[in-house]
Structure 1
Amino acid sequence: MSALQEQVRWLVDRALISDLLVEFARALDEKDWDSYAATYAEDGVLEIPGAARFEGRTAIRAATAGERGLGRYTGTWHGSSNHAISIDGDTATTRSYLLGVHMLSDDTFDHADGSGWYDCALRRTAEGWRFTEVRITEVWHAGAPLPHVSGKVAP
């Protein structure tokens, strides 16, 4: 492969990985659980250190969609920005900023928020780039306590 072909491949891969990060957030916020699960490799892992760890697409989908996951909220908004992407052949790592707003009711002032980073590992699969690991590191919270942070179950 020529230097130009390598550069083009890197640019395309970087765009595809950034698009996957955006799709991840879109699917969460539209409660499109199948599309969300499809962003992971079959053996993918979702981890919130100290709070939860799920392995495999089926477990990740069930936990996220359920009443103890994001399914409990009236609505959510997940912003993902500042995508730092490192590619090494058919694997990659990313770090992106996370801002998550979780609506507890139809009252727009009734919300639980968290922010930090998504640290992800990815691999190229027959389906395209997929997450092998998503680790959520939370740095701050605002509004009502998030259930996994406070140890309480949200209403």
Structure 2
Amino acid sequence: MSEIADRLEVAELFARLAWVLDEGTPDDLRQIYTKDVVVRSPRGGEIRGIDDVIAFVRETDDGPTQHVHGDVLISVDGDRADATANQLAFFYRDGEAPHHRTGLRLKYTAVRTPDGWRFQEAKINLAWQQED
């Protein structure tokens, strides 16, 4: 597979992640993360393993959200890739403007698996937040 195709597949993981978080389908995180994923975030601390990540997402459901990723940068080295992105997360009530917003900086490690690229490690850092 070409490096460009690898980079596109890793970049698509960010779009799929936003979709899963916004649609409230945490079981689909199995198609984004490896079984042994490690996620570090200000909200959850360190979470190890896909089952615990899914449980955390279920427990912290804050209602409707919209996640947007930008400034995605990917560096591929064989079967491993480092990826960074900025994430904006908007928390809202149906038909209303967002009541909470966050800006996050993401640093991920992806690996090639038999099922395609998956995130194996995630470091999520809060850049800012705004509450109405």
Query: Do both share a fold (TM > 0.5)?
Result: yes
- Compute the TM-score of the two structures, normalised by the length of structure 1: 0.78
RMSD over aligned Cα atoms: 1.7
Larger RCO (CA under 8 A, 6+ residues apart):
2
Q: Secondary structure at the match of 2:2?
A: helix
1:32-75: CA deviation from partner (whole Å, max 9, x where unpaired): 11112331111001111475211111000000111xx1x2x220
Residues 43, 100 of structure 1: CA spacing in aligned structure 2 closer, same or farther, 3 A cutoff? same
Which entry has the higher C-alpha Rg, 1 or 2? 1
Give the Cα–Cα distance (whole angstroms) in 2 for the partners of residues 32 and 20 of structure 1: 15
1:108-149: CA deviation from partner (whole Å, max 9, x where unpaired): 2462211021110010001110111111111111125xxxxx
Percent identity over the alignment? 26
Q: Secondary structure at the match of 1:24?
A: helix
Structure 1, unpaired ranges of 5+: 1-7, 145-155
Q: Which residue number in structure 1 is paired with residue 80 of structure 2? A: 91
Q: Which among 51, 54, 75 is matched to residue 64 of structure 2?
A: 75
Kept after mapping to 1: 8 A contact 2:76/2:82: yes
How many residues are aligned here?
132
Give the Cα–Cα distance (whole angstroms) in 2 for the partners of residues 50 and 125 of structure 1: 28
Structure 2, unpaired ranges of 5+: none
Give the Cα–Cα distance (whole angstroms) in 2 for the partners of residues 110 and 14 of structure 1: 32
Q: Which residue number in structure 1 is paired with residue 89 of structure 2? A: 100
Give the Cα–Cα distance (whole angstroms) in 1 for the partners of residues 49 and 68 of structure 2: 24
Give the number of the structure whose residues are more often strand, by fraction.
2
Q: Which residue number in structure 1 is paired with residue 111 of structure 2? A: 123
Give the Cα–Cα distance (whole angstroms) in 2 for the partners of residues 99 and 23 of structure 1: 15
- Compute the TM-score of the two structures, normalised by the length of structure 2: 0.91
